[in-house]
Amino acid sequence: MSTMRSFMISAVAVAALMMPLSCKQADNTLTSKEKAEGWELLFDGKTLDGWRDFAGTQLTGPWVVENGTIRAEGEGSDASGYIVTDKEYANFDLVWDWKISRGGNSGMLYHVVENRAFPVPYVTGPEYQLIDDENWEEVNGFALEDWQRCAVDYAMYVPDFAKRKLKPAGEWNTSRIIFDNGHVTYFLNGEVTVEFDAWSPDWYARKDSGKWENAPEYGMSPSGHICLQDHGYPAWFKNIKIRELPVKPVEKDLFNGKDLTGWIVYGTDPWYVDNGELVCESGEDNTYGYFATEDYYDNFDLTLEFKQEANGNSGVFFRSFVERPVTVNGWQVEVAPKGNDTAGIYESYGRGWLVQIPDEKEEILREGEWNTMRILAEGPRVRTWLNGEPMVDITDEAVGRGHGRIALQIHDGGGIKVRWRNLHIKTL
């Protein structure tokens, strides 16, 4: 074989070997196809733009950009070291690459809610656990429970570990979460680890009987922030990308006319069904009471009817939650005797009245008769109607960031009795 021909074959061979390397997608980039499909990067490979401290306004650490990765410096703890996306996400397909230090621990959380009642992200946001199973016990001195191991839905759902494909500490893994209108799938290196339905009877049974039995708002929000955890060990992340998925609207009656299914009673005031209607009245303690949906409803169109049989000081809370025994967090559309701003909007903590109704609209309320109320909540904008008449129209950024339940109120003071019927909601 001639020297020239040998050189040509060698050059072709080298080119063939080099081709796959030259075609490999660069880290922290999107292809034209991915962009067309709606993917967006959560990390540009250079800055931490779009991320900040949990419950903060800026990023103060312990996170840095290092060689095209986000690195957790390992200075966090159970109570600190969390960063969240500026933006909130509901349904999504989330993919990322990660590696962990020897014996290390981290996590990817989602649907995290920021509220002064929640000191840490994990009391609201589910977590895809990232941890070094193999070396954990040797480094840390105790064994992991199965619900703590890598690629589990932390403290909820565990995979078949025999089929899990986990690379060792110091090597890159690829993980993925698909949250599609409550149906959730976790992947590790291309294989499904867990699959479950959020807010199903099985999900509620696990939530209420394990680690989360004293965290009533865990996993309840249908949207929230993406969160990375520094749990005191170095960890690295790159190629974090997300694609939002459509939200399917739900339309249903909140009250079945037969029993209290789907609701939670807070306080000592009685709530009961009479003649197909929901009734609340003052109990012996004459204190506040609330009747809240089990599920969260953030963006919705709600209609209901109410009749004030005695006094009638009540209300409809939205994007709210109740801390036992009877402390409510959120916003209220007022239901009260004439002259007290029925259909106005009140904040239960902090600012008080956000908007009251004009005096000339007080006569729209029909005391002692059935009234129809409509509440339309879309992001920061909330509108109310009473008996077909528009009452308030408010846009408020704090309201827009709220997450929570629908809750009916009975005011303190005693002597109150209100009937409710035809509670119908359509999510947006």
Residue 75, pLDDT > 50, answer: yes
Which pLDDT tens digit goes with each residue over 372-388? 999 999 999 999 999 99
Q: Tell me: pLDDT of 307 over 90.
A: yes
Residue 193 predicted with pLDDT over 70? yes
> Over 70: is that where the pLDDT of 20 sits?
no
Query: 311 falls in which pLDDT band (50, 70, 90)?
Result: confident
Give the pLDDT mean for 13-26.
55
Q: How far apart are CA 57 and CA 112, in angstroms?
A: 16
Nearest to 428 by CA among 383, 367, 361: 383
* Residue corresponding to tokens 């996993």: 219
pLDDT computed for residue 4 by the predictor: 40
The domains located in the chain, with CATH, are 26-244 (2.60.120.560), 251-427 (2.60.120.560)
Cα separation, 326 vs 37, in Å, equals 46
- CA–CA gap between residue 122 and residue 78 (Å, rounded): 10
The residues, any chain, with a CB within 8 Å of residue 428's CB and separated by 6 or more, are: 249, 299, 300, 301, 378
Grade residue 5 by pLDDT with cuts at 50, 70 and 90: very low
Nearest to 345 by CA among 307, 311, 315: 315
Q: 270 near 68, Cβ under 8 Å?
A: no
Predicted confidence at residue 61, as pLDDT, reads 83
For 87, 104, 164, 189, 333, the CA distances from 137, given in Å and listed in that order, are 37, 10, 19, 24, 53
pLDDT for residue 3 is more than 70: no
Distance in Å from the first CA to the final CA of the chain: 73
At 77, is the pLDDT very low, low, confident or very high (cuts 50, 70, 90)?
A: very high
Q: How far apart are CA 77 and CA 92, in angstroms?
A: 28
pLDDT(172) > 50: yes
Q: Encode 386-407: b = buried (16+ Cβ within 10 Å), e = exposed.
A: bbeeebbeeebeebbebbbbbb
Give me the pLDDT at residue 23, please. Answer: 67
Which pLDDT score is estimated for 13? 41
pLDDT average, residue stretch 66-90? 97
Helix (H, G, I), strand (E, B) or coil at 16: helix
CA 155, CA 161: separation in Å to the nearest integer?
A: 15
